Amino acid sequence: MPRGDGGLFMNLLRKPAVREFLRIIIAVSAALLLGFFITLLVSKQPLEAYRAFLLGPLSRFNRFGDWIEESITLTLVGLAVALVFKSKQFSLGAEGQILLGALVSGSIALFVPLPGYLRIPLALLAAMGVGFVWGYLPGYLKAHLNANEIVSTLMLNTIALKLYDYFLIFHIKPPNAGYNASETFTKDGILPSFVPPLPFLADLRARFMSQTNITIMLYLAILAFLVAYFLMYRTPFGYELRMIGANIKFARYGGINVKRTIILAFAVSGVFAGLAGAHLAMGIHTKLIQNISLGIGFEGIVVALMARNNPLFVPLSALAYGYLRAGADIMERSSDVSREMVLVIQALIILLVTAEQVLPVIQQRVAARREAQPAASLAEGGQ
């Protein structure tokens, strides 16, 4: 290889973004390889099963749509988690914010007698608003009462789940329904297709609407990650957020209002999670159903970790993780391997990706301990 090519390659490797990308690729590849070895042990047709897992989302048009739908929701939830994690606060509250966002937006879609061009924006704004409020609560508890944010967000998730089930079962579900679900939303309460309603796109629009539920939330997700990046890296709030995450004592010494910034970090993250709930209710299911989120709020943690809490990388991370989820469903339906296999692969990805963050900390502590030992030996010798 010519020296110039080698020098260019080494220069690329010195860039943090390139190194992070390569680390994630290696971690995911290693997890997939280990997952295949496990599949060899549990399946009579491991090659067919893993082929369905890896290539299934691209094999049919509707399966491709399922992958994109999953990725849109994961992008919004990943942004919600990344925003809080950037301030070194460990929030688990996205699940409750999703549920309440779905409940509020779905209720407006069902009961508010407005035309679609007013009802849909109102429902989306309401979902964002309730997410903001539900995120504000643990932020306030953490900032002013020093409450553990992991405990408070988990407890608020339980409250949100019970509120969702109560209103769905006792106030929204039709009396004669045999299962816990609302009526299907009317056209004015469903998010429109992402293909514009133009005459020359009529055939394409009809095809997408008949086989997928990809809606205008695709454009809103793109806007959301641009807004999140702007907030985090181009505003005073984002600067304060990152300073608190880097060193909270230094941030306080530098005059940053730490309590206000922590509260806003939790609250603003709830806006994105509430929007994800609206997508589930008005875009994917087009009705309110029990267990509407299926724990996707916790999946956002994996997305944020894989993206290193950088909003620019969250969509890529969501696409990769959404591909795993969609492939798992296809593998379960078309082979003798259960969907739990993907949970093993997901766990491996989490371990390998987070190890990249834990390892430098361990190395620093080991180095500090080694430096401290000679100093302690000298002190003992002097005595």
Q: Tens of pLDDT along 181-196?
A: 999 999 999 999 988 8
pLDDT, average across residues 239-263: 91
Domain of 248, in residue numbers: 25-37+45-349
Higher-scoring residue by pLDDT: 362, 293: 293
Amino acid at the residue 265:
A
Q: 16 falls in which pLDDT band (50, 70, 90)?
A: low
Q: Whole-number mean pLDDT of the chain?
A: 85
Give the pair of three-digit tokens for residue 212: 């997928």
The helix/strand/coil state of 180 is coil
**Distance of alpha carbon 272 from alpha carbon 276, whole angstroms:** 6
Reply yes or no on whether the pLDDT at 130 is more than 70.
yes
Reply yes or no on whether the pLDDT at 229 is more than 60.
yes
Establish if 365 belongs to a structural domain.
no
Establish if 358 belongs to a structural domain.
no
pLDDT, average across residues 97-125: 96
**Best mean pLDDT range from 187-191, 197-201, 209-213:** 187-191
Exposure class string for 307-331: b at 16+ Cβ within 10 A, else e = bbbbbebbbbbbbbbbbbbbbbbbb
Reply yes or no on whether the pLDDT at 369 is more than 70.
no
Higher-scoring residue by pLDDT: 46, 359: 46
Q: 109 falls in which pLDDT band (50, 70, 90)?
A: very high
Establish if 279 belongs to a structural domain.
yes
Reply yes or no on whether the pLDDT at 248 is more than 70.
yes
CATH number at residue 172: 1.10.3470
Establish if 129 belongs to a structural domain.
yes
Picking from 151, 109, 111, the residue whose alpha carbon sits closest to that of residue 277 is: 109
Establish if 299 belongs to a structural domain.
yes
Picking from 107, 156, 118, the residue whose alpha carbon sits closest to that of residue 297 is: 156
Picking from 206, 205, 267, 213, the residue whose alpha carbon sits closest to that of residue 71 is: 213
Higher-scoring residue by pLDDT: 100, 43: 100
Establish if 7 belongs to a structural domain.
no
Query: Phi first, then psi: what are they for 176, rounded to 5°?
Result: -95, 10
Q: Cβ neighbours of residue 135 under 8 Å, at least 6 residues apart?
A: 91, 93, 97, 266, 267, 268, 269, 270, 271, 273
Q: 347 falls in which pLDDT band (50, 70, 90)?
A: confident
**Distance of alpha carbon 98 from alpha carbon 270, whole angstroms:** 8
**Best mean pLDDT range from 26-35, 46-55, 139-148, 206-215:** 139-148
**Distance of alpha carbon 331 from alpha carbon 341, whole angstroms:** 9
According to the model, what pLDDT value does residue 1 have? 45
Amino acid at the residue 109:
A
Overall domain count for the chain: 1
Least confident of 149-163, 203-217, 263-277: 203-217
Reply yes or no on whether the pLDDT at 110 is more than 80.
yes
DSSP-assigned letter for residue 117:
H
Establish if 53 belongs to a structural domain.
yes
Q: 112 falls in which pLDDT band (50, 70, 90)?
A: very high
pLDDT, average across residues 365-377: 61
According to the model, what pLDDT value does residue 254 have? 87
Alpha helices, DSSP H only, in 280-313?
A: 296-306
Compute the residue count for the chain. Answer: 383
With beta carbons less than 8 A apart as the criterion, state whether 62 and 329 touch.
no
According to the model, what pLDDT value does residue 103 have? 97
Reply yes or no on whether the pLDDT at 367 is more than 80.
no
The gap between the terminal CA atoms of the chain, to the nearest Å, is 60
Helix or strand holding residue 52 (H, E): helix 46-55
Give the pair of three-digit tokens for residue 318: 């969501």
33 by Cβ neighbours in 10 Å (0-12 / 13-18 / 19+) ranks as exposed
pLDDT, average across residues 236-241: 93
According to the model, what pLDDT value does residue 379 have? 55
Give the pair of three-digit tokens for residue 186: 């009317």
Establish if 144 belongs to a structural domain.
yes
